[in-house]
Amino acid sequence: MQHVDPLVAELIDSLPTTPAVVTNERFDVIASNALARAVSPSLTAGVNLAEATFVNLSARETLPRWSEVSVRMIELLKEAVADPAPVGPDAERFAELRAELTLRSTAFEIAWRNGTLPSSHALDVSMDHPHVGRLEITYELLRLPDSRQLVVMGHTVPGSESEQRLFWLAAHSETVPRRPM
């Protein structure tokens, strides 16, 4: 597991009403806060978000707009290998991930072949949460300087039902049962 700067870990933990994770360029989650884990078991350290999107069958069940999310994931992965391109062990790990996903998911293979670079770093996700219902969350990707890591923070429209549901999850994040990925 990669190292997360202690101040970055403190930052995401200090955001009790914001789901937040730290990933590497392959979108391996390397740290997450309690609310992120309550929103989705895929937002747990050790999970690869591309794999969770393309291989985990529950993603298609809980994400009504899965096809849009999968296209954005491909765009973000393509950007990760384009500018600046990973080198050495990072390049090898990325090649291994791409090969594994190509073998395990026809949808990934097709999307990779057709994908383009992203036009923005926001990702709108609509999901059906088993405890609170539909959540509409926009995730913003923030690159950490001098690092190949990203802080991914989610937010909802102020005053929306999604915001109220996210606040409920925040208040109950330690007691919400987690279902297996």
What are 23-82's pLDDT values in tens digits? 998 899 999 999 999 999 999 999 999 999 999 888 888 999 998 899 888 888 888 777
In this predicted structure, the answer to whether residue 3 has a pLDDT above a threshold of 90 is no
CATH class of the structural domain 6-172: alpha beta
62-66, 90-94, 108-112: which has the minimum mean pLDDT?
A: 90-94
In 3D, which of 158, 101, 165 has the Cα closest to residue 127?
165
Bigger pLDDT: 1 vs 42: 42
The length of the chain is 181
Rounded to whole angstroms, how far apart are CA atoms 172 and 53? Answer: 25
d(CA 6, CA 142): 17
User: Residue 119: is its pLDDT beyond 80?
Assistant: no
Q: Please give the Cα distance from 128 to 117 (Å, whole number).
A: 28
Q: How far apart are CA 170 and CA 181, in angstroms?
A: 20
> What are the pLDDT digits (tens) for 136-181?
999 999 989 888 899 999 999 999 999 999 999 999 877 766 554 4
Q: Say what the pLDDT of residue 122 is.
A: 84
* C-alpha separations of 154 from 35, 93, 151, 163 in Å: 10, 27, 10, 11
- Cβ atoms of 18 and 35 within 8 Å: the answer is yes
Does residue 10 carry a pLDDT above 50? yes
Predicted pLDDT at 86: 67
Would you tell me the crossing angle of helices 89-104 and 66-82 to the nearest 10 degrees?
A: 150
What pTM, to 2 d.p., does this model score?
Answer: 0.85
Q: Provide the CB-side half-sphere exposure for 111 (13 A, CA).
A: 24
Look at residue 136 in the predicted model and tell me its pLDDT: 96
Tokens for 41?
């078991």
- The pLDDT of 71-94, averaged and rounded, is 78
Banded pLDDT at 93 (limits 50, 70, 90): confident
